[in-house]
Structure 1
């Protein structure tokens, strides 16, 4: 079979069954990932370490770089892969050796990923998934030449098709048609990507600053977070002291507005880097998604591995007619998430067109769905709210009377809980379950009953006393279950019977 297969695919060379190593520049990529942390450690040792070691920093740095390079070189030399007629073999390990054999018929997905440096160097990461877990780490070739990565992907897909019983000419034809560029199912231009960034408010800027401060805190004075010091640092201390109360309030509002602007810019930048060039194509087996400005990912999502769909939106986005569609798949995304975004910002018609290919329906929405018991919002308040109210009173009495102003925020908590209860609804229409969550970040989960793995009915002491329960629905590969809160016990039992087909 292997000889005929070699004739079917000219890209398979006679040396395909020989041991191969990763691209030599893998060393450069691995060193680039590890050197920044090592450099920060050496700076810390030079500035705040023991006096007797500060003079040896240069020597320590030299030894560390040599040791790091030697270790990475040894790891690279000991890592190899081989395309056998029936399986892919990956050998790794410096001292403890591990040889992993992955039959082609077990491979579900073959995905490519390129970081910025890898794109500059013309390399790619090849991910193999067998369905044994959702981690995406069943087989990884970290850095191979881009042409070699594409060749490996084609060879593995073709050999998988042949092992599955597809005739070789048909498999070759299917592979050729999969590689042929057709009109995409969905794509995003620059304007839509920027629009999506506006809705993806992000304070990633402050997360980056926080990470830098966490690693470089030895360079900062101990009172850096003192507000007075911050004002004095920027020359605003005297100005702020001269302002009256109204001006101070306006300055605080201006600071909050600046925070809003930074969050919007952070969302736009983060979304632009992730979703640039977003393109979703229909393949013989499912979807192929390509996106990314710095890190370019090429992911295949077979339809048979898609378990459920999630439509995300919000009050503003919904009024403007925008939705985000994700599919929950047994395959993992490049960032180790099981929810693949297949349409980050789409209109209703575009969402329905993509769902049509998956066989998942969107037949109902909020008005036609059933509400859960109102106890969902008032029971937690009855037990949780008195504690912070007492704490505020004690703090205002013992520390600062101005803390009593926090009581003005207390009514906001019941309002948020009430809105969350109003947003939480469910419906069971035919062979599909609909579960809606969230007032501001709205999520509508579409779950076909054939994908339900388990149903748990949970009660704590309070819910058991008032006759309510929580239904948790397990889905294959999903860490968190789909949950319906505050259902009467009889309704929960009836729902479980329908979900599991028990009559």
Structure 2
């Protein structure tokens, strides 16, 4: 850790150190100040390491810090929902790991326990201790010497699925990593503007380079084509780095998901707290027949990262895994009223039709061909809005099979959540001014897991009342008024 902490702080010190060296004229005093800055990071790492300790005692875990003020965080073992072990590159080279405890806190990682820099063997030993049942986990952990001489036997585990490497080719279809080239280019441009003057390139060097490139449309077009070609390639590489050798296991009552090429992560989810799953697919994924799956787990923070059960896999495989791990759901979804389709068509067509009308008026008034081009493009996009709006309507649906309920929505990214009835903790009916005019509402099932609530969009008033009364009749019936619908 005395090596990892200073190296981790260096990116934040690069710009100040470069500024000191450049403005100081590379004198001995400048080098002295730069050396003091690096030395300060080392001293900080030493003090941080020397004032940190952890202890498992009885039915609790204590994490102590006394860098500036003394802090003792006590975590009851029964509150631990899962354990996340990751091995960033430097940690892996040194045989270390980062162990994070998920305690069901919703305020972010700062409210959870984190052991940064334990050995990989110690991380696995702590994981085995912390994830036992309450009676076993209440016993104090063995001494380090005993753990090294005779570590507790590994629990029997069953591999649910090991994602084949050829399925990594599905990664760019999700679109999540396609904008990586633009992010890299944006970062490079930002550095050019920030460091241009400090590196002796002049105040207007970056602007001059941009103007020169704008004056050579051939190079600009080639750069645009290069970016378009690089999007799936770089996106596929990033997807592979994050999801390499994705393996889902079942071990001692926990679902364990392991993944990653550079930073290897192992996330454990208590199977008894899993209340359902969420299946998502983008438009390209839907054409290819692949989906992504997340678990809906009570008390799990950052569910979109820690709750991932499967990356892009064929839909049939995802159905088999969710049926085995959580339970099947085969009930057909109930359609939403036709006015919901009208609302989606209006949203997909009206804005572009308005742009086309405004551009046409401008073209007639000003007489420029650019406005006619804009009008044609807007009309084409309005035409694309017809199948898009219909697809968004077909994606709407909700259902209940007596044990689990499901809601689905979206088109460019379609998401279907399936969760148990016992996970529902309340209902909320939301209605905007436009929904009131259309006679539809949004019914939100409050769930003490996952995102905290899942919505059935644009259902009729009768559907909202009937669906909530069907799932939780004891809660809804006291609020129902006999007689005609109001």
Q: What interval of TM-score do these two structures reach, taking the shorter chain for normalisation?
A: 0.7 to 0.9
Given candidates 13, 34, 42, the residue that maps to 1:61 is 34
Q: What secondary structure sits across from 1:185 in the alignment?
A: strand
Q: Determine if the alignment matches structure 1 residue 274 to structure 2 residue 242.
A: yes
Q: What secondary structure sits across from 2:236 in the alignment?
A: helix
Number of aligned residues: 446
Distance in 1 between residues matched to 2:26 and 2:449, nearest whole Å: 51
Q: Which runs of 5+ in 1 are unaligned?
A: 1-25, 166-174, 241-250
Alignment map for 1:57-206 (pairs within 5 Å): 57-133=30-106, 135-136=108-109, 137-158=111-132, 160-162=134-136, 179-180=155-156, 182=158, 184-197=159-172, 199-200=174-175, 202-206=178-182
Distance in 2 between residues matched to 1:429 and 1:281, nearest whole Å: 28
Q: Determine if the alignment matches structure 1 residue 463 to structure 2 residue 432.
A: no
Q: Determine if the alignment matches structure 1 residue 217 to structure 2 residue 193.
A: yes
Q: Which moved more, 1:216-225 or 1:479-488?
A: 216-225
Q: Determine if the alignment matches structure 1 residue 261 to structure 2 residue 229.
A: yes
Q: Determine if the alignment matches structure 1 residue 284 to structure 2 residue 257.
A: no
Paired position in structure 2 for 1:358: 325
Q: What secondary structure sits across from 1:27 in the alignment?
A: coil
Given candidates 457, 460, 471, the residue that maps to 1:485 is 457
Say if 1:383 and 1:407 are closer, same or farther in 2 by CA, change over 3 A. closer
Q: CA shift at 1:74, angstroms?
A: 1.7
Distance in 1 between residues matched to 2:283 and 2:185, nearest whole Å: 31
**Given that residues 470 and 487 in structure 1 are in contact (C-alpha distance below 8 angstroms), is that contact kept between their aligned partners in structure 2?**
yes
Q: Which runs of 5+ in 2 are unaligned?
A: 140-150, 197-204, 478-486
Say if 1:500 and 1:292 are closer, same or farther in 2 by CA, change over 3 A. same
Q: What secondary structure sits across from 1:95 in the alignment?
A: coil
Given candidates 362, 365, 371, the residue that maps to 2:336 is 371
Q: Determine if the alignment matches structure 1 residue 323 to structure 2 residue 300.
A: no
Distance in 1 between residues matched to 2:471 and 2:157, nearest whole Å: 41
Q: CA shift at 1:31, angstroms?
A: 1.7
Say if 1:317 and 1:255 are closer, same or farther in 2 by CA, change over 3 A. same
Distance in 1 between residues matched to 2:368 and 2:446, nearest whole Å: 49
Q: Which moved more, 1:378-387 or 1:31-40?
A: 378-387
**Given that residues 134 and 477 in structure 1 are in contact (C-alpha distance below 8 angstroms), is that contact kept between their aligned partners in structure 2?**
no
**Given that residues 52 and 66 in structure 2 are in contact (C-alpha distance below 8 angstroms), is that contact kept between their aligned partners in structure 1?**
yes
**Given that residues 355 and 378 in structure 2 are in contact (C-alpha distance below 8 angstroms), is that contact kept between their aligned partners in structure 1?**
no
Say if 1:357 and 1:57 are closer, same or farther in 2 by CA, change over 3 A. farther
- CA RMSD, Structure 1 to Structure 2 (Å): 3.4
Paired position in structure 1 for 2:6: 31
Say if 1:438 and 1:409 are closer, same or farther in 2 by CA, change over 3 A. farther
Q: Which moved more, 1:314-323 or 1:100-109?
A: 314-323
CA deviations 1:420-451 (Å, max 9, x no partner) are: 23322222333322222222333222122221
Distance in 2 between residues matched to 1:212 and 1:37, nearest whole Å: 16
Given candidates 392, 399, 404, the residue that maps to 1:432 is 404
Distance in 1 between residues matched to 2:255 and 2:303, nearest whole Å: 18
Paired position in structure 2 for 1:13: none
Distance in 2 between residues matched to 1:73 and 1:164, nearest whole Å: 33
Q: CA shift at 1:33, angstroms?
A: 1.8
Using structure 2 for the length normalisation, give the TM-score.
Answer: 0.80
CA deviations 1:117-153 (Å, max 9, x no partner) are: 1000100011112223373542110111112222222
Distance in 1 between residues matched to 2:369 and 2:287, nearest whole Å: 43
Distance in 2 between residues matched to 1:224 and 1:454, nearest whole Å: 59
Say if 1:329 and 1:214 are closer, same or farther in 2 by CA, change over 3 A. farther
Say if 1:384 and 1:316 are closer, same or farther in 2 by CA, change over 3 A. closer
Say if 1:129 and 1:327 are closer, same or farther in 2 by CA, change over 3 A. same
**Given that residues 109 and 331 in structure 1 are in contact (C-alpha distance below 8 angstroms), is that contact kept between their aligned partners in structure 2?**
no
CA deviations 1:345-388 (Å, max 9, x no partner) are: 333443233223333323145xx541342243255469866875
Paired position in structure 2 for 1:248: none
Using structure 1 for the length normalisation, give the TM-score.
Answer: 0.77
Paired position in structure 1 for 2:268: 300
Q: CA shift at 1:394, angstroms?
A: 8.5
**Given that residues 84 and 266 in structure 2 are in contact (C-alpha distance below 8 angstroms), is that contact kept between their aligned partners in structure 1?**
yes
Paired position in structure 2 for 1:407: 375
Paired position in structure 2 for 1:23: none
Distance in 1 between residues matched to 2:89 and 2:362, nearest whole Å: 51
Q: CA shift at 1:268, angstroms?
A: 1.2
Say if 1:336 and 1:463 are closer, same or farther in 2 by CA, change over 3 A. closer
